[in-house]
Structure 1
């Protein structure tokens, strides 16, 4: 009898606890918050958060912009000496996977649920762009099993080759899903719902990736160029179609502008100032700012020791130009000059028909026009022997001008500099890599702790988890 009473008591307690839990759940419901994810809100937040990461401190200012010598540091110079902060390494990985891959995977699912293929297409395009950035930066990455935590708590790392080929297929699917005349979308702060421009972005990303793998997988690259390389109506060939997020006033300001509100430790690199001066390049006063105490733009050598950099003086060295540091300055993900450089190189190496020199001149012109350079100055610039296209050394011609055209876009500039091996940059003055420049970013320490088996498989296949390990696309 006592046993029966005990069991009944437990059962009663369970009912009471269950009732209390249900009451707490009801009490804690926010009547003003939707229980269903809204695709427009998800899209807006997804674009803003991931462009902030791409253009922000950890992926750009403290790493890629320094490695490719667009920027330099005048304070706290360890990152410029190739000693990245562990927080930067971790933040890029975490933000792109948690705020990017996860959010856009959800948007893809919502596109199916809502029977709106345009949401699905945009989700695929943005997720593919993020994966492309991740593999460019780290190498082998979780891809095919990513954002499926219910199935894969510790996702495998896919080989970089497989990631690129997978992205080419996904972007082709996305382009085919787009229906410009129907299925409107909201929350699009990149292209304001213009699905024709999203199609151009998708196809331009396909050509970017195809060229990136062309040294290794020429046939696969050629198939992409054969399909869409000549279709200028569906490619970013005009600055009006550039994929860029135009920022607004605080708290939605450009992350570079936000950084300048509390810090003053970045300067334009001496390497790019020297090149712009050498070429009498009209972009010099656009890319750099004249310091208060001088009458000319003064770049800073990358990788100075902290005490040496500090002695140069804040008012005697040049910050980056206002085009990049203003509150509403746009963050560019893909510009028309890059697409034209892609086509020029493709024509040169047999991926695409066309005149490489003509396409190269169009690419340089488009970059200059992006910043409002006059037609007369464009003509004068292109006529210089140092700017004329050299088919015998096309990597130098394209590499140097593409590097200039991608100024400010640290991650893409860093990827293309590694692939083309131009311009020839000096290693950081007191760099920590024995005279070498980084060739990738190391994996965050959390991967070693939480996904150790797959992490070890990746470095066993790719090489040591070091800044100097060259990635698959970069190996000759």
Structure 2
């Protein structure tokens, strides 16, 4: 299968340490680069973040299935690991995520001291923020990882593994430092430096909100842990003191270096799941692979949710008039193909030059709504929740009036009609994150077991009826950092939980 061969090839190259980076990434090895300016490396690093996290196919190839947004077409015999949850340390989900994130971190490790030497504190703060972004996901995927000795090959050939909670606590400090640097540089970023920032175009206040929101997300991960409330409140007080706040409506973090409808330069999500650059619109292979899952579509149908026609196409790739889904897990049958089943919707695949969302405003607002409902931040949780739903409707090309009507007339979205506010927030967040960042709902499910009715795969090869709680360390670590990774003990994707997963 083409998808599997691509992943196998990519994994092999990454394990050899010579992975070819993407569009605008100018460094093969930032650790040995001494001449590139921090400006040039920054643009490539940010573009690489977009291409290897929220825009990358590996970010969706398992999480979109496990969270029942999409289901694989019956025209393929693959997806064994995704369908059965029975994967190994050689599985692309584990190996490619690890390689992509550490690869991206190399650039930010280069930028931070280089920018400091060049007298560019704004870039220093961006590097700190984006290192926290990458490391948070590495922890959320794997738990304990190389951190304090990571990416220092001249000093540490086999870096030790740091405790996941210790890493989280240090990331919180790094984000505080970044947010305070951003605050000090509001309105002071030179116009020449603004050009290289493909997220916020030199807007230091916007970057400060982004850093604060990443930190709030990091803290909220820990909200179910006994004895952690005082720590979380103390850390949130630091965000409050910073004064820049969090990402609000219309303030999404998103990337666009100048995407083009040409090979290798399309918006990465569109390039993976949309259409080729041919004059006649031709679906990519990935576009044909992923179809609508029953659970995801039926929730929208039953509750008259107008986002149905935005998140999914009608059958035959929008040439038909009906919306059809398939169950998650059963062994493939010939009729589970794009001509008979709904595919990924055009509100997610707007254009080859669309912005690549890193953190959408609606994700931030859902995070704030949950934090407010828990009493961790000030603010009206109902207002934050309604703003989140409204922002998602707008993102999908719908109107505020339709969002208001939905939240008023549909019990599943009506704040006042739901006694369990956290469950309501997480369910609507699950709807909204479809095709934007499917990893976050998987993390919410692990820490909260919500949505509570999330189906388990019914594939014949399922031996453990449980959605995995983590990734396995990649085989490359067992090959080249054996003593340190082996010291972590036996790892199971079903039972070796992360420190914040206590439900």
**2:193 is the alignment partner of 1:193:** no
Preserved CA contact (<8 Å) 1:237 1:340 = yes
Preserved CA contact (<8 Å) 2:373 2:422 = no
How many Å separate the matches in 2 of 1:232 and 1:349?
21
How many Å separate the matches in 1 of 2:93 and 2:302?
34
TM-score (norm 2): 0.81
SS class of match (2:478): helix
Shift of 1:156: 1.6
Preserved CA contact (<8 Å) 1:62 1:79 = no
**2:373 is the alignment partner of 1:348:** yes
Q: Out of 399-408 and 63-72, give the one that drifted further.
A: 63-72
Match of 1:93 in 2: 98
State the superposition RMSD in angstroms: 2.2
Residues 400 and 229 (structure 1 numbering): CA distance in 2 closer, same or farther, change over 3 Å? farther
Shift of 1:300: 2.6
Match of 1:140 in 2: 144
Match of 1:258 in 2: 271
Match of 2:220 in 1: 211
Match of 2:111 in 1: 107
Preserved CA contact (<8 Å) 2:253 2:360 = yes
How many Å separate the matches in 2 of 1:305 and 1:63?
16
TM-score (norm 1): 0.86
The correspondence for 2:441, drawn from 399, 403, 413, is: 413
How many Å separate the matches in 2 of 1:89 and 1:410?
16
The correspondence for 1:428, drawn from 457, 480, 501, is: 457
Preserved CA contact (<8 Å) 1:338 1:363 = yes
Give 1 or 2 for the bigger CA radius of gyration: 1
Match of 1:245 in 2: 255
Q: Out of 326-335 and 226-235, give the one that drifted further.
A: 226-235
- Where do 1:50-449 residues align within 5 Å? 50-57=49-56, 59-74=58-73, 75=76, 76-81=78-83, 82-83=85-86, 86-98=91-103, 100-178=104-182, 179-184=185-190, 185=193, 186-216=195-225, 217-228=228-239, 233-239=244-250, 241-246=251-256, 247-250=259-262, 251-260=264-273, 261=276, 262-263=284-285, 264-292=288-316, 294-306=320-332, 308=333, 310-325=334-349, 326-383=351-408, 384-389=410-415, 392-408=419-435, 409-423=437-451, 424-430=453-459, 432-449=462-479
Residues 257 and 345 (structure 1 numbering): CA distance in 2 closer, same or farther, change over 3 Å? closer
Shift of 1:57: 4.9
Q: Out of 44-53 and 204-213, give the one that drifted further.
A: 44-53
What is the aligned length?
436
Shift of 1:54: 0.9
Shift of 1:114: 0.4
How many Å separate the matches in 1 of 2:66 and 2:356?
19
Higher helix share: 1
Residues 291 and 391 (structure 1 numbering): CA distance in 2 closer, same or farther, change over 3 Å? closer
Shift of 1:344: 1.9
Name structure 2 gaps, 5 residues minimum.
1-32, 277-283
Shift of 1:201: 0.6
Match of 1:3 in 2: none
How many Å separate the matches in 2 of 1:405 and 1:432?
29
Name structure 1 gaps, 5 residues minimum.
1-33
